[in-house]
Amino acid sequence: MLFKVEMDVNVPIDFDKDKFEELKAAEKARFQELQKAGTWRHIWRVVGQYSNVSIFDVRDNSQLHDIMMSLPLYPFMDVRVTALCRHPSSLHDDDR
């Protein structure tokens, strides 16, 4: 199943900078692990914001939930999830 996930990161201004750098490094490592597995298929930055729009390819909403909970920056995120399905006019066979 494909999901569009919009993530806005809101870290408190007084949060420890060293701890934040550790969390960002752990987030990047987790993202790359999921991307290599084909689970986190696409990611785009939102210009001018600490936000992204991503496409996940997972077996069900429960797996997506577990993945989101595993992200080191999740406690600082506002997340919006939209389930997607293949458009019949798509030329791409991998849009499932």
17-66 residue pLDDT tens: 999 999 999 999 999 999 999 999 999 999 999 999 999 999 999 999 99
What is the pTM (predicted TM-score) of this model? Answer: 0.89
Tens of pLDDT, residue by residue over 69-87, are 999 999 999 999 999 988 8
Structure tokens that stand for 70 in this block: 């595993």
Q: Which domains does the chain have, with CATH numbers?
A: 2-84 (3.30.70.1060)
Angstrom distances, CA of residue 94 to CA of 60, 61, 81, 84, 89: 17, 19, 20, 13, 13
